[in-house]
Structure formats: C-alpha cells, structure tokens
C-alpha cells in the first residue's frame, strides 16, 4: 500500500486528480471506477480544469440508492452527471451507474456485475470511505459481500447521508453496490479520505486487522492500492 499524506483537502484533490489523469493519458480507453460523496468533489473539479480527453473512457460507478430515479437530484446518477460528466467530453452512453429503479434489484446487480466483467474489469477504482469504514455501500458485516448486491444501509450511514435530503425521511434505506470482490478486481485502487473525523477509522483500516467489520481494511491485500489523505500526520 502506498500512503500519500497531504496538508489539505485541495492538495489531496490535486494528487488524486493527477493520478486519474495519468491513467487516462497512459490508456485513453481506460475503464474508470468512480465514487460519489463529498470527498471526490475536489478531485472531479481538478480533472475538469485539466480539460483532458475523456472521449475513449468508460466509467462504472460504485453504487446507487435503490428507489431513486436517475433524474432525482439525490441519485448518484444525477450527482455524477452534474458534478463531472457534463463538464468533460465523455460519451454519456459509456458512463454506467446501477439502475436504482430496477423492479428486480437482484437481476440488476447481476447485470451490473456482468457488465463490469464484459468491459474487462476496472483499470483504476476511485474510492471514498465512510465513518464506519465502509467502501461503496459495503457496510461492516460478518463477511465480505463478494459481488454487486442489494444492501440495507447502516443506521450510521443513513444518518450521515440524510443531511443531503430536504426531508431526511426520504433517504433510501437500501442501495445497489459493487461488492468487495468487484472492487478488489480493479487493477489499481485509489482511496481518498479527508477530515479529522475519519483519522481513527482510517488508521484502523490501514494498520489494524483485516476484517469485514472494517470493510476498507481489505484494501491492505490489494496489490496496487494508493491512499491519499489529509487526515494523517
């Protein structure tokens, strides 16, 4: 694991953006795994400012709330379109997010997993981490969920994310999420973690036991994982 400590959120965003831009330059037909949330916003801004060529790039997002339509301002599809895709020259047909409106969530998860495999897997996967150590929506559990799956969210995650909803009760209670095996299949992983309130859980994930109780701890086993963070001294 490579750990890059930065002095600020801005520097963390620049460093992660540079790593993604280098991947795009080195392989213009890369498959990028992308994340939503507050952490990658600065990364996306820095990438947009670089005006790089994304015309050959395909993206697969980590997760989507179950029950939200793509044009719902709280959906992850909407987040990606607004904060990233509409500012770069990517072909929207090559941007993939699980379909939160699918009538059969299990079938949608199987379709999404098969899509990632059909694309040849992910070249670089960008990740954030929740306060409980979750990556994507793989919540602390007794075992690591393998593939893309339908998951009921933790109370802590519901609390953390409900702040984005005008009515916190509208926050979906479940999501479709890549599994740990899906994520670990990426050829490179880039974990961005920001904020003093995540310092303890990050240390536990990086230096503690590898356990599904701290899902991000599994990243210790990845052969090419870079952590960029402003929360370690």
Footprint of ligand F6R (CB under 6 A): 35-39, 62-63, 128-130, 134-137
Instruction: Give whichever of 39 and 75 is closer to ligand F6R, judged by the CB atom.
Output: 39
Going from the C-alpha of 6 to that of each of 45, 63, 92, 144, the distances in angstroms are: 18, 27, 33, 30
Instruction: Give whichever of 88 and 136 is closer to ligand F6R, judged by the CB atom.
Output: 136
CB of 201 to ligand F6R, least distance (A): 11
Q: Is residue 132 flagged as an active site residue? A: yes
Instruction: Give whichever of 84 and 137 is closer to ligand F6R, judged by the CB atom.
Output: 137
CB of 129 to ligand F6R, least distance (A): 6
CA gap 71, 53 in Å, rounded: 26
Question: Cβ-closest residue to ligand F6R?
Answer: 128
The number of beta carbons lying within 10 Å of the beta carbon of residue 170 is: 13
Q: Is residue 63 flagged as an active site residue? A: yes
Q: Is residue 96 flagged as an active site residue? A: no
User: Do residues 159 and 173 lie in contact, with contact meaning Cβ atoms separated by under 8 Å?
Assistant: no
The number of beta carbons lying within 10 Å of the beta carbon of residue 1 is: 15
Which residue in 64, 99, 139, 230 is the catalytic one?
139
CB of 133 to ligand F6R, least distance (A): 10
Cα dihedral 194, 53, 80, 23 sign: negative
CB of 39 to ligand F6R, least distance (A): 3
Beta strand ranges found along the chain (DSSP E) = 2-5, 31-34, 58-61, 63-65, 95-96, 124-127, 149-152, 174-177, 188-193, 225-229
Instruction: Give whichever of 129 and 206 is closer to ligand F6R, judged by the CB atom.
Output: 129
Q: Which residues are catalytic?
A: 63, 132, 134, 139
């Amino acid at each position: 694991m490579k750990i890059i400590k930065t002095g600020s959120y801005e520097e963390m965003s620049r460093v992660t953006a540079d790593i993604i831009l280098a991947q795009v330059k080195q392989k213009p037909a890369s498959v990028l795994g992308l994340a939503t949330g507050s952490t990658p916003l600065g990364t996306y801004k820095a990438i947009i400012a670089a005006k790089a060529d994304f015309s050959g790039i395909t993206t697969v997002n980590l997760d989507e709330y179950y029950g939200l339509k793509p044009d719902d301002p709280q959906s992850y599809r909407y987040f990606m379109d607004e904060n990233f895709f509409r500012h770069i020259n990517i072909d929207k047909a090559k941007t993939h997010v699980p379909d939160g409106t699918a009538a059969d969530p299990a079938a949608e998860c199987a379709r999404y997993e098969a899509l990632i495999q059909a694309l040849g897997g992910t070249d670089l996967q960008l990740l954030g981490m929740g306060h409980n150590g979750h990556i994507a929506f793989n919540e602390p559990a007794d075992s690591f969920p393998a593939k893309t799956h339908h998951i009921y969210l933790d109370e802590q995650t519901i609390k953390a994310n409900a702040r984005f909803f005008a009515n916190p009760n509208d926050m979906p209670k479940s999501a479709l999420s890549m599994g740990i095996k899906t994520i670990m299949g990426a050829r490179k992983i880039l974990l961005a973690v920001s904020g003093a309130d995540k310092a303890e859980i990050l240390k536990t994930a990086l230096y503690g036991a590898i356990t599904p109780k701290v899902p991000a701890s599994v990243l210790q086993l990845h052969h090419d994982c870079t952590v960029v963070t402003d929360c370690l001294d």
